[in-house]
């Protein structure tokens, strides 16, 4: 009903705008306001220090959160991480032993492939942690440790606030394992900044939505889109493309910008727009992304840039652009996914799609 949507025309839009609150709720009680220490578990877990390998396993949007998580986990814990689709993991005899950590990510906690993967990991003696949004769900019940995202109920089939809170939880977990391993919190400044994240994200949402509307109106009739990103924004390119496919039924491909020359560049022409994610905070790959954009422009492909405030290079290259405030590197996935969620939403509405209940899709896939 209209009341349930809190004045928004669709659950998806409501849930997109709930993200600052969802993040706030997920942070609640997990960071000390005096020492900026992260605490995720009630008691200290001895085996956490002994882990030599992490398998992050999930499906759909949760898998994209896992791809982001690899950057956090490897950077802060120095433990090698593999991220895998649950439907692949469960059938390939992964090398599991008791010093492996299986990290399952699932909004619903009921996805059949993720659950089967978790059972396999347990059988082989791996340790199990899951990141879930639904209290007491199957995956939560079967995990030794559950880290709950506090996104609240997600009604729209297309996942939004569950994704950003999963990304946040992966960052918290990486920083927590860092502290446990070293016996010292090496990143108090970053953790302090996390406390301001909900407020800056709220401002960004309010500011960028009108701009997203203009961009969407101009481009929604395109038949295909290419989404490009690198480094920590590569998974966000995948997620942006997935959102557009799911709800606007527009063919879209997410690609690592540096890999474009090995294929997708053959498709570039005037009617094939590219959404390019270019954040100055990614340093060297920012420059590299610009030269990838240059290659597209040379072939007369239209460019839509999502980029750091004040980056003149991107403005010069792109037909349209949307500016993102400067934020710490670790916050980039959250800030860059938001305009992509909004673009998918707006284009779906303009194309007359049933946003909250897209055809052929289910909120959770409980059978194989």
Q: Read off the tokens for 84.
A: 């895998």
Report CA torsion sign: 161, 163, 166, 171: negative
| Alpha carbon distance 236, 58 (integer Å) | 16
357 binds ligand G6P (CB under 6 A): no
107 binds ligand G6P (CB under 6 A): yes
x/- string (CB under 6 A) for ligand G6P, residues 54-83?
Answer: -----xxxx---------------------
x/- string (CB under 6 A) for ligand G6P, residues 120-159?
Answer: -------------------------------------xxx
- Footprint (CB under 6 A) of ligand G6P, residues 295-324: none
| Alpha carbon distance 247, 217 (integer Å) | 16
Q: How many residues bind ligand G6P (CB under 6 A)?
A: 16
Per DSSP (E only), the strands in the chain are 53-58, 81-85, 100-106, 127-132, 145-148, 224-229, 251-256, 274-278, 303-308, 320-324
Q: In a 10 Å sphere around its CB, with 0-12 CB exposed, 13-18 middle and 19+ buried, how is residue 206 labelled?
A: exposed
| Alpha carbon distance 123, 178 (integer Å) | 27
Contact by Cβ (8 Å): 222, 271: yes
In terms of CB distance, is 134 or 317 closer to ligand G6P?
134
Q: Which residue has its beta carbon closest to ligand G6P? A: 60
Residue in 19, 77, 108, 274 binding ligand G6P, rule: CB under 6 A: 108
341 binds ligand G6P (CB under 6 A): no
Q: Is 363 labeled as catalytic in the residue annotation?
A: yes
364 binds ligand G6P (CB under 6 A): yes
Residue in 77, 106, 138, 208 binding ligand G6P, rule: CB under 6 A: 106
| Alpha carbon distance 94, 115 (integer Å) | 15
For residue 116, give the H/E element and its range: helix 112-123
Contact by Cβ (8 Å): 296, 285: no
Residue in 153, 315, 361, 366 binding ligand G6P, rule: CB under 6 A: 361
Residue in 19, 25, 26, 111 binding ligand G6P, rule: CB under 6 A: 111
Residue in 26, 77, 114, 138 binding ligand G6P, rule: CB under 6 A: 114
Q: How far is the CB of 131 from ligand G6P (least distance, A)?
A: 9
Question: Where along the sequence are the contacts to ligand G6P (CB under 6 A)?
Answer: 59-62, 106-108, 111, 114, 157-159, 361, 363-365
């Amino acid at each position: 009903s209209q009341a349930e949507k809190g004045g928004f025309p669709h659950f998806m839009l409501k849930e997109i705008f709930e993200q600052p609150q969802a993040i706030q709720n997920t942070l609640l009680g997990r960071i000390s306001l005096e020492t900026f220490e992260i605490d995720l578990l009630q008691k200290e877990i001895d085996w956490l220090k002994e882990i030599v390998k992490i398998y992050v396993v999930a499906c759909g949007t949760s898998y994209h959160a896992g791809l982001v998580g690899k950057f956090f986990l490897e950077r802060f814990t120095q433990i090698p991480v593999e991220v895998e689709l649950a439907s692949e993991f469960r059938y390939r005899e992964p090398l599991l032993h008791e010093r492996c950590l299986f990290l399952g990510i699932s909004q619903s906690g009921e996805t059949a492939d993720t659950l089967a993967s978790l059972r396999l990991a347990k059988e082989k003696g791996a340790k199990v942690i899951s990141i879930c949004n639904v209290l007491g769900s199957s995956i939560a019940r079967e995990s030794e440790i559950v880290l709950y995202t506090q996104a609240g109920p997600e009604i729209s089939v297309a996942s939004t606030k569950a994704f950003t809170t999963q990304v946040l939880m992966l960052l918290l977990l990486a920083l927590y394992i860092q502290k446990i391993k070293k016996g010292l919190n090496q990143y108090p400044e970053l953790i302090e900044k996390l406390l301001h994240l909900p407020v800056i994200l709220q401002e960004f949402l309010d500011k960028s939505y009108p701009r997203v509307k203009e961009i969407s109106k101009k481009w929604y009739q395109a038949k295909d889109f290419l989404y490009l990103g690198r480094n920590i924004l590569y998974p966000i390119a995948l997620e942006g493309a997935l959102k557009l496919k799911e709800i606007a039924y527009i063919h879209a491909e997410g690609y690592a910008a540096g890999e474009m020359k090995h294929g997708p560049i053959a498709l570039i022409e005037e009617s094939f727009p590219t959404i390019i994610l270019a954040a100055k905070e990614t340093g060297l790959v920012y420059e590299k992304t610009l030269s990838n954009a240059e290659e597209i422009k040379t072939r007369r492909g239209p460019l839509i840039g999502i980029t750091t405030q004040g980056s003149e290079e991107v403005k010069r290259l792109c037909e349209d652009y949307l500016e993102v405030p400067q934020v710490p590197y670790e916050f980039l996935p959250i800030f860059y996914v938001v305009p992509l969620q909004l673009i998918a939403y707006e284009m779906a509405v303009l194309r007359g799609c049933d946003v909250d209940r897209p055809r052929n899709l289910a909120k959770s896939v409980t059978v194989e």
